[in-house]
Amino acid sequence: MSALPTPAPARTKTPRLAAIVSVTAAIALPLGLFCVILFATPLLQPALLDGFIRERLHRDPATWYWRDGVYTVALLVLAFVFANFAAIFSGILSWWERRVAGRIQSRIGPNRAGVGGFLVWIADAVKLILKEDLVPAEADQMLFRAAPYFVMVGFILTFVVLPFGESIAVSDMNVGLFFITSITALVVVGILLSGWSSNSKWALFGGMRSAAQVVSYEIPAGLAIMVPVLMAGTLSMQGIIRAQGGLPWQWFIFRNPAAFALFFIFFTSQLAEANRTPFDLPEAESELVAGYLSEYSGFRFALFFLVEWGNLWTMSAIAVTIFLGGWQIPFVPNELYAQLKGTGFPPLAWWGLEAASMLVFAAKTMVLVNVVVWLRWTLPRIRVDQMMSLCWKYLVPVSFACFLFTLLWQIAVAAVPALETAMGVGLTAVSVVLAVLFARQTHRNITAIGDRVDLSNW
């Protein structure tokens, strides 16, 4: 028997064009979006717009009739930019999550469309637009069609106050954090509407479960965000960040032991509110088909999923803002930004600092986003009664206790300011030690079963 030379397994070569397109898209899309946000957001603010009207259009902005028209156009442009940011972020994240899931579960994940399957989210979007839009005959037609709009509006509106950098926030409302908690309630309305109007038992149970879950976890989340407000003395998102600093022991999470506990409570509650694993019971596919999404198809379905993945950015960004120091760069005091900016068109140094602050914020947020993705492929789903008792019997009492502790803590800190610094340094050290121990234990667990950390087959 002559040993036939076994042909080497044909390496699937990505065509050169697809490779170029996917690599270009992977670099240019996020970079371009962040650049547009970096330049558009500070420029399209009332002060600079007034300057533009005065210098270029030679009108007095205080009396000119069309000033509000200019403002409206500026705001619509900003809204368009952020809606695109949300859509493209959730698209890319859907690809990233599937890739990470593939690695975690020792399989490949999407690898056909473009290099590393990067273009799969664009293919998904095109496919979902091309799919037939089915509305069940027995559903409540109007409510069924209206539900995605509520979800979408509740999601996009958080970007009004969500900061991206020192001067990069559409508007720094003095009620920012409160605005976010109130506006996200619209998502619950959308979920309830979709569950009820579908006239399907799966959708009804999914919608009810989801609504019960989201409203329950609003309570610990609401109590948790009070603690940063107590420590900063303001509800404005930028104000809360300015009350913190660039170094870890200047962040709210480490400056107060109650805030340390509440960060985890807040994060858990946000996971539940975003219907992420281990709290993805509303769409538990093994029990409820797809929950409140059962009857949705095509682009309407895509809207729900856009919000679900986009929520990862908003929830992580809120956590970074109120607990993890936001965009603060180490050793850069808040006054430096104002000094560099001056009046009129800002100089290059200021833009550099803004870009750096944005980079810090985006990096911190992406770390948290990846933690959420990691949790999804690590933890099993919990039962519905466990979910409710975890919220009401553990998280709510603990957050009440932490809230009361912070009230006393603030009085103590006002008397002895060194207390806060000492606690910050101490808790930072404890956290670093805990993180190192965790990494060591993980490594030990992996080597104990004869496996190794392998990222080569990415």
**72 near other proteins, judged by CB under 8 A:** yes
Output the six-digit token pair for 318. Answer: 């809120």
Question: Residue 199 is inside which H or E element, if any?
Answer: none
- Tell me how far, at minimum, the Cβ of 446 lies from other proteins, in Å: 37
**356 near other proteins, judged by CB under 8 A:** no
What is the per-residue binding string for other proteins in 333-352, x denoting contact by CB under 8 A? --------------------
Tell me which residue of 126, 142, 271 sits closest to 199, measured CA to CA: 142
Question: Residue 440 is inside which H or E element, if any?
Answer: helix 418-448
What's the CA gap between 306 and 318, in Å, rounded? 18
Stretch that binds other proteins, among 156-164, 248-256, 372-380, 435-443 (CB under 8 A): 156-164
**101 near other proteins, judged by CB under 8 A:** no
Stretch that binds other proteins, among 54-62, 110-118, 131-139, 366-374 (CB under 8 A): 131-139
Sign (positive/negative) of CA torsion 166, 171, 174, 179?
negative
- Position among 159, 249, 267, 279 found at the interface with other proteins (CB under 8 A): 159
Q: Which of residues 196-235 bind other proteins (CB under 8 A)?
A: 196, 198-204, 208, 211-212, 215-216, 218-219, 222-223, 226, 229-235
Tell me which residue of 95, 84, 72 sits closest to 34, measured CA to CA: 84
Output 23 or 384, the one with its CB closest to other proteins.
384
The helix/strand/coil state of 451 is coil
- Position among 82, 266, 301, 327 found at the interface with other proteins (CB under 8 A): 82
Interaxial angle between packed helices 16-43 and 348-376, expressed in degrees from 0 to 180 and rounded to the nearest 10: 120
- Position among 4, 8, 10, 130 found at the interface with other proteins (CB under 8 A): 130
14: burial class by Cβ within 10 Å (0-12, 13-18, 19+)? middle
Instruction: Please give the biggest Cα pair distance in the chain.
Output: 96
Residues 271, 390 contacting (CB under 8 angstroms): no
Output 299 or 374, the one with its CB closest to other proteins.
299
Stretch that binds other proteins, among 6-14, 88-96, 194-202, 263-271 (CB under 8 A): 194-202
What is the per-residue binding string for other proteins in 30-49, x denoting contact by CB under 8 A? ---------------xx---
What is the per-residue binding string for other proteins in 401-420, x denoting contact by CB under 8 A? --xx--xx-xx--xx-----
Tell me which residue of 271, 142, 296 sits closest to 207, measured CA to CA: 296
One-letter amino acid of 17: L
Residues 92, 121 contacting (CB under 8 angstroms): yes
- Tell me how far, at minimum, the Cβ of 200 lies from other proteins, in Å: 5
**300 near other proteins, judged by CB under 8 A:** yes
**369 near other proteins, judged by CB under 8 A:** no
Stretch that binds other proteins, among 31-39, 54-62, 77-85, 262-270 (CB under 8 A): 77-85
What's the CA gap between 336 and 328, in Å, rounded? 12
Output 355 or 388, the one with its CB closest to other proteins.
388
